[in-house]
């Protein structure tokens, strides 16, 4: 196993563990202390976002960025740049609770799933045997 495959495997496993913990938080929030579990999920989202962003950035610098990884970086940067404006608009909205929940949990989790699919897809592709001599 190449060291790049080991890095991809560790990256994908850590992402999967963090995403599982984040997904369990809102489910448990309805059964017990809401604020505690939503805080747990928010903390996990911050860790997952940092892990994915810096993992993608370092991967792109070491091995070159694929178009899907470049699109992910652009999406995350735009999300952060629009974050302040969107937060002000959500606060002024009549639906501030549901919009805020969607903006702070829904969109980042969707972006996280998208990057997880990129990582897992590239990991699986790295284990496929070459189809011919010229693919080596």
Q: What is the 3-state secondary structure (H, E, C) of 65-80?
A: CCHHHHHHHHHHHHHH
Q: Which domain holds residue 68?
A: 3-128
pLDDT digits (tens, 9 = 90+) for 108-125: 899 999 999 999 998 998
Whether 20 and 44 have beta carbons less than 8 Å apart is answered as no
Give domain status of residue 136, yes or no: no
Distance CA 122, CA 5 (A): 9
- pLDDT at residue 1, rounded to an integer: 66
* Per-residue confidence (pLDDT) for residue 136, from 0 to 100: 59
Number of domains making up the chain: 1
Residues of the chain with pLDDT under 50: none
Contact 85, 50 (CB under 8 A): no
Asked whether residue 10 is domain-assigned, the answer is yes
Question: Residue 13's pLDDT is what?
Answer: 94
Q: Is residue 133 part of a domain?
A: no
């Amino acid at each position: 196993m190449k060291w790049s495959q080991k890095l991809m495997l560790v990256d994908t496993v850590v992402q999967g563990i963090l995403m599982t913990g984040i997904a369990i938080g809102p489910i448990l929030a309805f059964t017990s202390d809401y604020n505690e579990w939503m805080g747990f999920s928010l903390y996990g989202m911050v860790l997952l976002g940092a892990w994915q962003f810096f993992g993608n950035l370092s991967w792109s610098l070491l091995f070159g960025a694929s178009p899907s990884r470049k699109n992910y970086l652009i999406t995350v940067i735009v999300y952060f740049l629009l974050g302040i404006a969107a937060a002000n608009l959500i606060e002024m909205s009549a639906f501030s609770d549901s919009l805020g929940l969607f903006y702070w949990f829904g969109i980042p989790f969707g972006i996280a799933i998208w990057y997880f699919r990129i990582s897992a897809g590239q990991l699986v592709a790295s284990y496929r045997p070459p189809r011919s001599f010229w693919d080596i």
